[in-house]
Amino acid sequence: MPAQPKATLEKLLELLGFPATVTEQQLDDGIMLDVKTDDSGRLIGRQGQTLSDLQYIANRLLFQQDQSAPKVTVDVAGYRSQAREALVKKAKDAAEKVRRWGDIVELEPMSAFDRRVVHQALKDDPDIETQSVEVEGTEKKAMLLRLKH
Protein backbone atom coordinates (compact mmCIF):
# COMPACT_ATOMS: atom_id res chain seq x y z
CA MET A 1 0.00 0.00 0.00
CA PRO A 2 1.45 3.41 -0.92
CA ALA A 3 2.17 5.80 1.94
CA GLN A 4 -0.36 8.55 2.56
CA PRO A 5 1.59 11.46 4.06
CA LYS A 6 -1.35 13.82 4.71
CA ALA A 7 -3.53 11.15 6.35
CA THR A 8 -0.59 9.81 8.38
CA LEU A 9 0.29 13.25 9.78
CA GLU A 10 -3.36 14.07 10.52
CA LYS A 11 -3.72 10.83 12.50
CA LEU A 12 -0.45 11.45 14.35
CA LEU A 13 -1.56 14.98 15.33
CA GLU A 14 -4.97 13.67 16.40
CA LEU A 15 -3.33 11.03 18.63
CA LEU A 16 -1.09 13.74 20.13
CA GLY A 17 -4.16 15.84 20.94
CA PHE A 18 -3.64 18.61 18.38
CA PRO A 19 -6.78 19.45 16.39
CA ALA A 20 -5.34 20.58 13.04
CA THR A 21 -5.89 20.74 9.31
CA VAL A 22 -3.10 19.63 6.99
CA THR A 23 -2.57 20.72 3.40
CA GLU A 24 -0.27 18.81 1.06
CA GLN A 25 1.91 20.38 -1.64
CA GLN A 26 4.28 18.66 -4.06
CA LEU A 27 7.90 19.85 -3.98
CA ASP A 28 10.77 19.01 -6.32
CA ASP A 29 12.36 16.80 -3.66
CA GLY A 30 9.32 15.48 -1.79
CA ILE A 31 6.13 16.71 -0.18
CA MET A 32 5.39 19.74 2.02
CA LEU A 33 2.73 19.21 4.67
CA ASP A 34 1.54 22.50 6.14
CA VAL A 35 -0.25 22.26 9.48
CA LYS A 36 -2.81 24.83 10.60
CA THR A 37 -3.66 24.70 14.31
CA ASP A 38 -4.63 27.09 17.12
CA ASP A 39 -1.72 25.77 19.18
CA SER A 40 1.08 26.32 16.67
CA GLY A 41 3.61 27.55 19.26
CA ARG A 42 3.56 24.25 21.15
CA LEU A 43 3.81 22.29 17.92
CA ILE A 44 6.80 24.32 16.69
CA GLY A 45 8.62 24.18 20.04
CA ARG A 46 11.75 26.01 21.08
CA GLN A 47 13.83 26.88 18.00
CA GLY A 48 11.61 24.56 15.96
CA GLN A 49 12.76 21.45 17.82
CA THR A 50 9.29 19.95 18.32
CA LEU A 51 8.53 20.60 14.65
CA SER A 52 11.76 18.83 13.64
CA ASP A 53 10.89 15.87 15.87
CA LEU A 54 7.37 15.70 14.39
CA GLN A 55 8.83 15.72 10.87
CA TYR A 56 11.26 12.93 11.82
CA ILE A 57 8.47 10.76 13.25
CA ALA A 58 6.22 11.38 10.25
CA ASN A 59 9.01 10.36 7.85
CA ARG A 60 9.80 7.22 9.86
CA LEU A 61 6.12 6.18 9.86
CA LEU A 62 5.82 6.79 6.12
CA PHE A 63 9.02 4.89 5.38
CA GLN A 64 7.72 1.91 7.38
CA GLN A 65 4.50 1.94 5.31
CA ASP A 66 6.33 2.31 1.98
CA GLN A 67 10.11 2.36 1.58
CA SER A 68 9.76 4.36 -1.65
CA ALA A 69 7.70 7.08 0.09
CA PRO A 70 8.81 10.62 -0.78
CA LYS A 71 10.54 12.69 1.92
CA VAL A 72 8.10 14.87 3.83
CA THR A 73 8.78 18.38 5.10
CA VAL A 74 6.39 19.44 7.87
CA ASP A 75 5.68 23.13 8.42
CA VAL A 76 3.44 24.79 11.00
CA ALA A 77 1.93 28.23 10.33
CA GLY A 78 4.66 29.04 7.77
CA TYR A 79 7.41 28.75 10.42
CA ARG A 80 9.82 26.79 8.24
CA SER A 81 9.36 28.96 5.16
CA GLN A 82 9.94 32.15 7.20
CA ALA A 83 12.94 30.61 8.97
CA ARG A 84 14.29 29.41 5.61
CA GLU A 85 14.00 32.91 4.08
CA ALA A 86 15.80 34.41 7.11
CA LEU A 87 18.54 31.77 6.88
CA VAL A 88 19.05 32.35 3.13
CA LYS A 89 19.32 36.11 3.79
CA LYS A 90 21.85 35.50 6.59
CA ALA A 91 23.89 33.23 4.29
CA LYS A 92 23.90 35.78 1.46
CA ASP A 93 24.85 38.60 3.85
CA ALA A 94 27.73 36.47 5.19
CA ALA A 95 28.83 35.65 1.62
CA GLU A 96 28.91 39.38 0.87
CA LYS A 97 31.19 39.96 3.90
CA VAL A 98 33.51 37.20 2.69
CA ARG A 99 33.56 38.74 -0.79
CA ARG A 100 34.19 42.25 0.56
CA TRP A 101 36.83 41.50 3.22
CA GLY A 102 38.23 38.13 2.16
CA ASP A 103 37.87 36.77 5.69
CA ILE A 104 36.37 33.41 6.62
CA VAL A 105 32.90 33.83 8.16
CA GLU A 106 31.56 31.23 10.58
CA LEU A 107 27.80 30.87 10.99
CA GLU A 108 26.42 29.58 14.30
CA PRO A 109 25.98 25.83 14.87
CA MET A 110 22.90 24.54 13.07
CA SER A 111 21.06 21.37 12.15
CA ALA A 112 21.82 19.34 9.03
CA PHE A 113 18.55 20.63 7.53
CA ASP A 114 19.62 24.26 8.02
CA ARG A 115 23.16 23.62 6.76
CA ARG A 116 21.67 22.16 3.60
CA VAL A 117 19.55 25.32 3.14
CA VAL A 118 22.71 27.48 3.43
CA HIS A 119 24.67 25.24 1.08
CA GLN A 120 21.84 25.26 -1.49
CA ALA A 121 21.52 29.06 -1.25
CA LEU A 122 25.22 29.54 -2.06
CA LYS A 123 25.98 26.57 -4.33
CA ASP A 124 25.84 28.66 -7.53
CA ASP A 125 27.94 31.52 -6.11
CA PRO A 126 31.18 31.53 -8.14
CA ASP A 127 33.25 33.16 -5.35
CA ILE A 128 32.11 31.38 -2.19
CA GLU A 129 32.58 27.86 -0.87
CA THR A 130 30.83 26.40 2.17
CA GLN A 131 32.10 23.81 4.61
CA SER A 132 30.53 22.18 7.67
CA VAL A 133 32.78 21.87 10.73
CA GLU A 134 32.35 20.04 14.03
CA VAL A 135 31.50 22.13 17.09
CA GLU A 136 32.84 20.68 20.35
CA GLY A 137 30.23 19.73 22.92
CA THR A 138 27.30 19.63 20.48
CA GLU A 139 26.00 17.36 17.76
CA LYS A 140 25.37 20.36 15.51
CA LYS A 141 27.93 21.65 13.04
CA ALA A 142 28.79 25.21 12.07
CA MET A 143 29.18 26.45 8.49
CA LEU A 144 32.31 28.18 7.28
CA LEU A 145 32.11 30.47 4.25
CA ARG A 146 35.33 31.38 2.45
CA LEU A 147 36.55 32.59 -0.92
CA LYS A 148 37.13 29.88 -3.52
CA HIS A 149 40.74 29.59 -4.57
Mapped onto helix, strand or coil, the DSSP state of residue 95 is: helix
Q: What is the pLDDT of residue 1?
A: 57
Cβ contacts of 119 within 8 Å, gap of 6 or more:
130, 143
Q: What is the pLDDT of residue 43?
A: 94
Residues of the chain under the 50 pLDDT cut: none
Model-level pTM greater than 0.75?
A: no
Model pLDDT for residues 63-81, shown as the tens digit of each residue: 999 999 889 999 999 998 8
Backbone phi, psi, residue 94, to 5°:
-65, -40
How far apart are the C-alpha atoms of 15 and 21, rounded to whole Å?
A: 14
Cβ contacts of 36 within 8 Å, gap of 6 or more:
20, 21, 22, 23, 77
Q: What is the pLDDT of residue 11?
A: 94
